[in-house]
A and B are shown apart, each in its own frame.
Chain A
């Protein structure tokens, strides 16, 4: 599985935008970029995924670099409930099952 690199931790203030970076320099042409987050005492939760184009959904936006070697998860207005560990994961869509390999992620702290 291709590797991703994320900062160990980041801090933000409530109601401000948050940009969570992820480097994936060994990404292959068929790898999708996924983001999950894990709130305290809960299982991981899907946030967003994309392949080449930027993606938006109700939770976040995903900005993918033109060479696909990096991406950024954007939370437009952070709330206290967004405090979690955010995981950036690559997944080859040719696989027969949805096998995702998690790294250590970025622990996001949101200050009131």
Chain B
């Protein structure tokens, strides 16, 4: 139990569907992240939010739309996905650095997405 909860754990969707992944943390952290883990590939950083502002977008296609309404919640809205988007989507959080580096990300267990 890391304190980062992701729902749903498994999601199957068609290419025309719209769905959302949810991440929640109650660790008092101010930074949140989305990572993508495809089969046989390293984890890829998708988005970074710091104090609810997006500070990093790693050239992610617009069919993935993140939302961070407050420091405890992070969403990834999905629409018109492709089969190659099937992967494990991982959320993580960390304390705001504020000049002091803690060195630790806390990951959720991930949402396994299958696009048909």
Q: Which residues in window 81-116 of B have CB below 8 A to A?
A: 90, 92, 94, 96-97, 101-110
Could you tell me the distance between the alpha carbons of A103 and B42 in the complex, rounded to whole angstroms? Answer: 5
**Within 8 Å of chain B (Cβ to Cβ): is A104?**
yes
**Within 8 Å of chain A (Cβ to Cβ): is B45?**
yes
Could you tell me if A46 and B48 are in contact, using CB atoms closer than 8 angstroms? no
Could you tell me if B55 and A44 are in contact, using CB atoms closer than 8 angstroms? no
**Within 8 Å of chain B (Cβ to Cβ): is A68?**
no
> Closest chain A residue to B92 by CB distance?
A43
B104's partner among A49, A99, A101, A103 (CB-CB below 8 A) is A49
Could you tell me the distance between the alpha carbons of A95 and B98 in the complex, rounded to whole angstroms? Answer: 10
Could you tell me if B101 and A93 are in contact, using CB atoms closer than 8 angstroms? yes
Could you tell me if A99 and B56 are in contact, using CB atoms closer than 8 angstroms? yes
A97-B56, A98-B105 known; A43 vs B42 contact (CB < 8 Å): no
A102-B42, A103-B42 known; A96 vs B105 contact (CB < 8 Å): no
Could you tell me if B31 and A97 are in contact, using CB atoms closer than 8 angstroms? yes
Q: Beyond A46-B103, A49-B104, A98-B104, list 8 extra A-B contacts (CB 8 Å).
A: A41-B109, A42-B109, A43-B109, A44-B92, A45-B107, A98-B33, A99-B48, A99-B56
